[in-house]
């Protein structure tokens, strides 16, 4: 398989709210987090490194972390240069003298330091990691060789169609070759322009102006008179172009009804179309590595349009190198394999950054959409409780809402038939605290007809695997199949493996005594079998019916019961 150019790591030192952080990268990166954690600052760091226009902006002491100007700002991007792909060849051609080995990553580094006369000096270096980096050669006053390698486009959160349309016109007209018909059209326009001016001069108002002025002019000098003629010109025929829209689907022979481009959502889509052209066809993109930075693209878009945008940007044919800041769960719905999630959050007033590459695996591709839609709801909080199904989610959310517990920083998510570990791997890697509650399932083991029936501790072993995934150092052993019956095996586990169950709890894993319905019957003193049987039929519907019967006292019982300790731990953090 061909090795392509890959972004591998970003390191930021002493820049704005980043003291020092290292972020694992992929070629497509989604940046998210709560407000005021530095998402825009992270994007600005990338622009400082890759965009010469931003690099030439004035630097202030507030750009240094806690205004510590005694320590240099450092922004470094690490790149794995591939074999013979187009973008690897571009970088190798320009940085040939700086590449000493193909065994280590290539580094591009920007430093900003305060000089003795209190000026801030910006320097750029590149080279192979573990070797001494060399200065990047300059080109003129404000450019370096790096600007011949990367074409960086930044798309702000607000609409800016006017500027991008000007860039689009310039780029297209720069390379456009006029055809023979254009000459005829321009001659027609010139003749029309002449005719317009002649007709304006015949207006009675214009002729009256001539008469009045000539009468007054005769008082001072009767040797000459004036003539008023309009001087309307079109000038550059492309100066006053504007974008209009019409509905694409029309009745047969129906003329399109053209109207101005209005509505922030439509304008934003037009802006993306222009930027897509500039990335692929613009002068600055020719022979360069395209780097697209987008900030909050969901602004002004309906949810369905956000999902469509997710489909577009994670398509293999879309721009290969992407950094995207978002607050929208919908932009995660169509995420591609190997895309990188970057989460920024605060911990004890310090900014932390965690990243995790999403790799669902081929055998799970058919479940990928379900997983990402569920998982995306968990990315914008600090604590997540994963539960088996919708009935648990419904009950637990009712308990918290009834007791007035705040849910702005937590979420309860049903895994919808997908294994817990798929959620745990991503969320744990992003530094999101995970709690999960699972049934104490016991299942039959397949056997030959002449063999005695054995049972396996499905629920307990599920907890073991998840515990070892979250905390590999503990490495608890799986339980072997047993000849005990369902209920005997459950009681055996509760009585003999309490130490392991407590370890599970310490790692946020809660094993039910039996399952939701049986545990709830004990908690609410509804120990008649009909209560359990009723809840286990059409679970979600029956749970809705039960909730309508429950009281605030019942909610308190559930919240404070040891069987549902996960709820209190979720709220208390």
The residues of the chain scoring below 70 in pLDDT are 1-2, 130, 159-162, 164-165, 168, 170-171, 174-175, 248-265, 282-285, 360-368
Q: At how many degrees (to 10) do helices 498-506 and 458-470 cross?
A: 40
* Rounded distance between C-alpha atoms, residue 312 and residue 275, angstroms: 14
Q: At how many degrees (to 10) do helices 368-376 and 420-429 cross?
A: 50
Q: What is the DSSP letter of 222?
A: -
| The pair of three-digit structure tokens given for residue 383, joined into one six-digit string | 């604590």
Beta-strand runs (E) in 417-570? 433-438, 443-444, 455-456, 509-511
Domains of the chain by residue range: 6-157+289-345, 171-265, 367-572
Task: Please give the pLDDT value at position 449.
Answer: 74
Task: Please give the pLDDT value at position 469.
Answer: 93
* Residue pair 415/387 in contact by the 8 Å Cβ criterion: yes
* Rounded distance between C-alpha atoms, residue 252 and residue 379, angstroms: 48
Task: Tell if the pTM clears 0.75, that is, is over it.
Answer: yes
* Rounded distance between C-alpha atoms, residue 443 and residue 457, angstroms: 7
Pairing of strands 383-387, 244-245: unpaired
- Indicate the SS3 state at residue 155: strand
* Residue pair 161/271 in contact by the 8 Å Cβ criterion: yes
- Indicate the SS3 state at residue 66: helix
* Rounded distance between C-alpha atoms, residue 503 and residue 470, angstroms: 12
Task: Please give the pLDDT value at position 422.
Answer: 87
- What contacts 334, CB < 8 A, 6 or more positions away? 307, 310, 311, 314, 369, 372
Superfamily per CATH, domain 6-157+289-345: P-loop containing nucleotide triphosphate hydrolases (3.40.50.300)
Task: Please give the pLDDT value at position 366.
Answer: 55
Ordered DSSP codes for 109-166:
EEEEEE-TTS-EEEEEEEEETTS--EEPPEETTTEEGGGGTEEEEEE-SS--HHHHHH
Q: Maximum Cα–Cα distance for the chain, whole Å?
A: 131
Task: Please give the pLDDT value at position 406.
Answer: 93
Task: Please give the pLDDT value at position 2.
Answer: 66
């Amino acid at each position: 398989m061909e090795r392509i150019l890959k972004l591998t790591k970003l390191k930021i030192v002493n820049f704005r709210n980043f003291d020092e952080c290292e972020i694992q990268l992929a070629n497509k990166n989604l940046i998210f987090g709560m407000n005021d954690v530095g998402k825009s600052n992270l994007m600005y760091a990338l622009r400082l490194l890759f965009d010469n226009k931003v690099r030439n902006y004035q630097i202030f002491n507030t750009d240094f972390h806690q205004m510590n100007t005694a320590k240099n700002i450092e922004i470094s991007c690490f790149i794995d240069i591939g074999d013979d792909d187009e973008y690897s060849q571009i970088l190798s051609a320009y940085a040939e003298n700086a590449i000493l080995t193909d065994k280590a990553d290539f580094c591009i580094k920007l430093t900003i330091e305060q000089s003795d006369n209190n000026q801030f000096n910006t320097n750029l270096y590149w080279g192979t990691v573990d070797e001494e980096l060399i200065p990047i050669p300059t080109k003129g006053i404000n450019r370096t060789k790096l600007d011949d390698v990367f074409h960086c486009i930044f798309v702000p959160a607000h609409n800016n169609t006017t500027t991008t349309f000007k860039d689009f016109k310039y780029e297209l007209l720069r390379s456009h070759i006029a055809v023979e018909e254009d000459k005829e059209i321009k001659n027609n326009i010139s003749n029309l322009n002449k005719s317009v001016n002649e007709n304006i001069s015949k207006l009675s108002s214009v002729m009256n102006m001539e008469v009045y002025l000539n009468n007054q002019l005769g008082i001072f000098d009767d040797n000459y008179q004036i003539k008023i003629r309009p001087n309307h010109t079109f000038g550059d025929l492309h100066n006053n172009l504007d974008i209009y829209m019409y509905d694409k689907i029309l009745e047969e022979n129906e003329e399109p009804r053209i109207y101005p481009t209005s509505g922030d959502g439509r304008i934003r889509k037009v802006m993306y179309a222009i930027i897509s052209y500039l990335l692929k066809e613009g002068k600055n993109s020719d022979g360069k590595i395209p780097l697209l930075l987008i900030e909050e693209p969901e602004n002004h878009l309906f949810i369905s349009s956000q999902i469509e945008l997710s489909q577009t940007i994670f398509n293999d044919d879309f721009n290969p190198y992407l950094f995207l800041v978002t607050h929208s769960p919908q932009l995660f719905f169509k995420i591609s394999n190997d895309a990188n999630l970057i989460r920024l959050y605060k911990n004890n007033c310090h900014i932390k950054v965690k990243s995790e590459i999403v790799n669902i695996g081929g055998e799970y591709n058919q479940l990928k959409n379900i997983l990402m839609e569920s998982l995306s709801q968990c990315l914008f909080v600090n604590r997540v409780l994963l539960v088996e199904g919708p009935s648990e989610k419904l009950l637990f959310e009712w308990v918290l809402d009834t007791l007035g517990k705040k849910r702005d920083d937590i979420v309860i998510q049903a895994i919808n038939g997908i294994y817990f570990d798929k959620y745990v791997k991503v969320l744990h890697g992003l530094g999101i605290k995970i709690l999960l509650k699972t049934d104490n399932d016991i299942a039959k083991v397949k056997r030959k007809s002449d063999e005695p029936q054995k049972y396996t501790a499905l629920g307990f072993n599920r907890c073991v695997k998840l515990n070892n995934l979250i905390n590999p150092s503990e490495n608890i052993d799986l339980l072997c199949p047993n000849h005990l019956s369902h209920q005997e095996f459950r009681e055996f586990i509760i009585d003999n493996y309490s130490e392991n169950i407590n370890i599970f709890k310490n790692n946020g894993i809660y094993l039910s005594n039996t399952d939701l319905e049986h545990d709830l019957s004990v908690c609410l003193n509804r120990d008649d079998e009909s209560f359990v049987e009723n809840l286990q039929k059409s679970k979600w519907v029956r749970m809705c019916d039960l909730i309508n019967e429950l009281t605030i006292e019942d909610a308190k019982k559930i919240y404070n019961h040891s069987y549902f300790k996960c709820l209190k731990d979720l709220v208390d953090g």
